[in-house]
Amino acid sequence: MGDPSLIIPTEDIGIKDSLSYEEIPVQILDHQVRKLRTKEVASVKVLWRNQFVGEAIWEVEEDMKKIYPHLFETGEIPDQCTNSLLSTL
């Protein structure tokens, strides 16, 4: 027997009809430049909503600046010390 008082309406959660939701980036944790044979690729480590710091993923910096410019407005990209501190939390 289920308890009807524990049912949460889907309108409150924001689930779309396709049972998907939009991921929103929260913070940039780190920055790196990878050198390939013919070019360099700048990447940022992004913490997405509903993820732990250890689950943050690397994204191409140029693409993130186009889609989410507000993450770069402070002009401050964390260094390795900040990233190390965040990963211990």
Residues above pLDDT 70, as percent of the chain: 71
pLDDT tens digits for 48-72? 988 888 889 999 999 999 999 988 8
Helix (H, G, I), strand (E, B) or coil at 14: coil
If you write DSSP's letter for every residue of 51-68 in order, what string do you get?
A: --GGG-EEEEHHHHHHH-
Give CA angle at 85 (55, 87), nearest 5°.
15
28 pLDDT band, cuts 50/70/90, is very high
**Using CA atoms, how far apart are residues 76 and 71, in angstroms rounded to an integer?**
9
Residue-range domain boundaries for the chain: 21-88
The pTM score is 0.60
How far, rounded to the nearest angstrom, does the alpha carbon of residue 65 sit from its chain's CA centroid? 13
Output DSSP code: residue 46.
Answer: E
The yes or no reply on domain 21-88 and CATH 2.40.50 is yes
